[in-house]
Chain A
Amino acid sequence: MIHKFSMNGVNVVMDIFSGAVHVVDDVVYQIVEAYEEGDRAKVLAQFGGTYRPEMLQEAMDELDGLKEAEMMYTKDEYAPVLDQINARNPVVKALCLHIAHDCNLKCVYCFAEEGEYHGHRSLMSSEVGKAAIDFLIANSGSRKNLEVDFFGGEPLMNFEVVKEIVAYARAIEQEKGKNFRFTITTNGILLNDEIQAYINQNMHNVVISLDGRKEVNDKMRPRAGGQGSYDVIVPKFQKLAESRNQTNYYIRGTFTRNNLDFMQDVLHMADLGFKQISVEPVVGPETDSYAIREEDLPRIFKEYEDLAEELYERHKEGGARDFNFFHFNIDLTGGPCVAKRLVGCGSGTEYLAVTPEGDLYPCHQFVGLEGFRMGDVFTGIENWQLREKFSACNVYAKESCRNCWARFYCSGGCAANAYQLEGDILKPYEVGCEMQRKRIECAIMIQAKAMAEAAEK
């Protein structure tokens, strides 16, 4: 299977099953599909009127060379990898701890219903948190690296418990042969110097939430009393980002139908001095006025392309204006193995969410949804049927992924989004897929253009 696209003056051909990405001239770009079966006469007949025969022969010679090197026209040989994955002992390697089902913001688009997750306000106790650490260690098999994300609601509303859980995990990780990596996601309202110092000392990564321009942010992320959050959080976030040397954090925002010009929000954050930026589309049914609709896609694609071009220019220029946009990061040479690409996030199997009461769910987005409770941290997994369902969730199990060129890049997308919008964890949310494919193309274009320009010099 091949996929080709042309963006910002660069032609790209991707050979999906080898993972090879080629920058090609117009001749190869035109003939690449027609030559798949190696039929020279067919290509000469079809394109002889456009290109000289010797040029077509030369291009086909090059394609033959790539085919020989298994970098073009390769076949899907990965089904056996699934057996390899299924043969592995099921382990848990990451937990999302819902430290607080409460929040001091009232974000309009919050999937967690302003922190309450279809339930009531509650805070996790340190007993539950420590039991979660014990559960993780006991169920992680021989995995060494274990991840724990402190999430909410707003985790800083229960920060003393965060500290107790971290101290407990650190105290036992060595004897248990584990290495914990902690992360925290915060809206910043309660951030202060003391908390910042603690985060810098203990958290491998921190995700801070801002939607971009003041008017955009404050419309969707108001405080409990209705006033905006921007003025309170931005100075704190700037300080935090600097104190981490502009690394190991992400400032992340959500764009909605209200700001389809979201590139301006990304650039606004860059202008505020942030270097690690992540801005993603809101996910919700079209009945929500702010939800992304299919008809918005052309506008969004254009915005992504413009952002990619701008980012490319800033990378080239280097220095103060340059920044990293998370969704255009792509590791073409040392990315994850095929097994990882087939199974994706591991929700419901390798990754679980823990409620303040200690209940286990497949991930933070399933918390509180009927029928998705898997067990609790004290007794472990009880709903094995549900676990099996998530365990069988991979790109080969999804009908709409079977013919999609992006499946080894996105791994079949988010199971929670699929369930929320399509009613089935195996039916990916198509509008989300469209945007994902565009982001992958943009990410590749940035690298391809850099290579093409370097080659010209």
Chain B
Amino acid sequence: MKHVKTLNTAMLKHTMAKGGCGECQTSCQSACKTSCTVANQSCENR
């Protein structure tokens, strides 16, 4: 495409099917640990 370049192809919607297994790392979101957004985590179930 000329006007748009898409950065990612994985669609959030597709994670609904097998999502929610809960094996992923806990993501503390306070500022006193190495807090993180969940967005920088990876899935344990791929």
- Residues in A lying within 8 Å of B, measured CB to CB: 13, 17-25, 27-28, 58-59, 62-63, 65-66, 70-71, 74, 77-78, 80-81, 84-85, 88, 91, 93-94, 111, 143-145, 147, 149, 151, 181, 185, 207, 250, 252, 254, 278, 280-283, 326-327, 329-341, 344-347, 350-351, 363-365, 408-411, 413-414, 416-417, 432, 436, 439-440, 443-444, 447-448, 451-452, 455
Contact = CB atoms under 8 A, between A and B. Distances in A.
B7 A283 contact: no
Contacts of A329: 36, 40
A413 B29 contact: yes
Contacts of B6: 20-23, 66, 71
B34 A252 contact: yes
B46 A334 contact: yes
A144 B24 CA distance: 10
A448 B6 CA distance: 9
Interface in B4-32: 4-13, 15-16, 18-32
Contact of A21 (B1, B8, B44): B8
A335 B30 contact: no
B26 A144 contact: no
B27 to A, nearest CB: 5
A448 to B, nearest CB: 6
A283 B29 CA distance: 12
A324 to B, nearest CB: 10
A339 B30 contact: no
Contacts of A81: 16, 19-20
Interface of B: 1-13, 15-16, 18-46
Given A111-B32, A283-B31, A363-B30, A335 B1 contact: no
B46 to A, nearest CB: 6
Contact of B10 (A19, A25, A283, A455): A19
A112 to B, nearest CB: 8
Given A71-B11, A364-B32, A335 B41 contact: yes
Contacts of B22: 88, 91, 93, 143, 339-340, 350
B44 to A, nearest CB: 7
A283 B32 CA distance: 9
Nearest to A18: B11
Given A13-B4, A281-B31, 7 more contacts: A327-B37, A331-B40, A338-B15, A344-B29, A345-B38, A409-B38, A439-B37
